[in-house]
Chains A and B, each alone.
Chain A
């Protein structure tokens, strides 16, 4: 059975990977065929499918990191994720569904820290070769407004 502690450990590693700039490892948290989307609560309520980021394969997530490293231009910035306790909605031996609230602060090149996003991850986890992986993570932001740009993943 996938339990709460396993999900907490997974999320802690996920957040630390992004916050410590080990972005190349981030796609590894997902299954090869996966769904990753960043949206907000109003789109979700209305059933509108588009995302700020919309990916349906791990390769697309890898491409995004490669683009951030090689092509996209943005000021240096990093995140600090604070993740709440996952609310397990459905736990089985090989899969689980959970909702986990997040708050992400953004630290800019200027030295300023500001709350950048809050929301909830709506997740579906599966166990593959003994490892937990995300088959689907939809980051539903509480705010409908994104400040300036969203470079790093949530």
Chain B
């Protein structure tokens, strides 16, 4: 609980969510508080995919905010996670990004740990030739890296440092659970991983993901190539906490027919801006609900993406006040046919650091970060669609961005 009266490093001008002080993107004290109150507080941090821990002993090193974490599967089939920090002097325990191991041994002085993060061995514990060694009172059980609670949902592994955080299902709520289940309804396989270093505060990227209103203004790929002249049905879902969201849309096939007929006559004028190889967008129908785009976020920094047949999870990790690491993990289903896999590989051109519809997202956060230098006493306006955080069918709204700040202020006690 954060109802303690502590001084807030950043001043909010009111209780509402439509004015965001620019100082939240650069204040170092606030960034430190976020690590304690959010990432090590009452949240579930996305850690990795279950598919990345196939066997007993499979492990990955990852992060909860800035805190290094080891996630590992033990012989009992369960997944465990603990801070990647030796109980002795604090060195990293596991140095590789992933691997398989029966146990872990710190390279510095060879203290060792089992897969559940218990300290099991101290080199020279009894000393050498009767000299030195740990005092008899030293109890290995009383020492060890801090362990995380683990929750697995649809193959997504989350970890929490909090004893009070609700179960993952309760944390996500029914609507978000259903929207995750919709995509992760069968076993997945990793088809590639990429990291994008963003020159901005982590919150600017999370806001960008939730900001459905920038998409058709900033990302001109679809409009330039006349691919997105369709009136798309869709909506924005914001959960009760505000912290999670889904935006979704579907290609309306009736509207598509109308539009393409109407545009026949104009086509000759615009030949220059057509895709020469439209196979990049030639997908296949894979979900019965007709939803062709679903972007889902879970507070604080997880994104699940379905853009046509291009599926990915994204992990947003703060790296100081003005740097962020965005980890993309592209996935397919384990039972994909070679043709389906090829479609996913081609459509991956739409996303990531070189994505036709997302390369700009890597840069705009930096434009804001550079733009607000010297403006720590000013604030951003987040008033599109009013001041509420409710779900809606229209997407010209910043409701889910306001939802983020609702959750953020609650966790931060601000």
Contact = CB atoms under 8 A, between A and B. Distances in A.
B353 A66 contact: no
A149 B363 contact: yes
Contact of A149 (B190, B221, B349, B353): B353
Contacts of B225: 67, 71
Interface in B280-336: 280, 325, 330
B129 interface: no
Interface string B151-171: 000000000000000000000
B29 interface: no
Contacts of A40: 194
Given A145-B197, A146-B353, A148-B198, A50 B360 contact: no
Given A71-B220, A72-B359, A148-B197, A49 B345 contact: yes
Contact of A52 (B97, B198, B276, B353): B353
Given A51-B348, A73-B360, A149-B362, A63 B275 contact: yes
B359 A150 contact: yes
Interface in A52-78: 52-57, 59-60, 62-64, 66-67, 70-75
B97 A42 contact: yes
Contact of B196 (A56, A63, A73, A146): A146
The dominant DSSP class at the B interface is: mixed
A150 B356 CA distance: 11
Given A54-B346, A54-B348, A71-B220, A146 B360 contact: no
Contacts of B193: 42-43, 48, 144
B413 interface: no
Contact of B354 (A42, A49, A62, A150): A150
B191 A48 contact: yes
A145 B325 contact: yes
Interface string B130-166: 0000000000000000000000000000000000000
A83 interface: no
Given A49-B341, A148-B353, A75 B363 contact: yes
B75 interface: no
Interface residues of A, number: 36
A59 B276 CA distance: 6
A36 B241 CA distance: 44
Contacts of A38: 354
A109 B183 CA distance: 40
Contacts of B356: 64, 67, 71-72
B190 to A, nearest CB: 6
A41 to B, nearest CB: 12
B65 interface: no
In the complex, which of the residues B220, B223, B325 has the most CB atoms of chain A within 10 Å of its own CB atom?
A: B220
B276 A62 contact: yes
Interface in B340-362: 341, 344-346, 348-349, 352-354, 356, 359-360, 362
B235 interface: no
Given A57-B277, A72-B356, A50 B348 contact: yes
B192 A43 contact: yes
A52 B191 CA distance: 12
Given A49-B345, A74-B360, A145 B195 contact: yes
Given A49-B345, A62-B276, A67 B194 contact: no
Interface of A: 38-40, 42-43, 48-57, 59-60, 62-64, 66-67, 70-75, 144-151
12 contacts: A57-B277, A63-B276, A67-B225, A70-B273, A74-B359, A145-B325, A147-B199, A148-B353, A149-B196, A149-B353, A150-B353, A150-B359
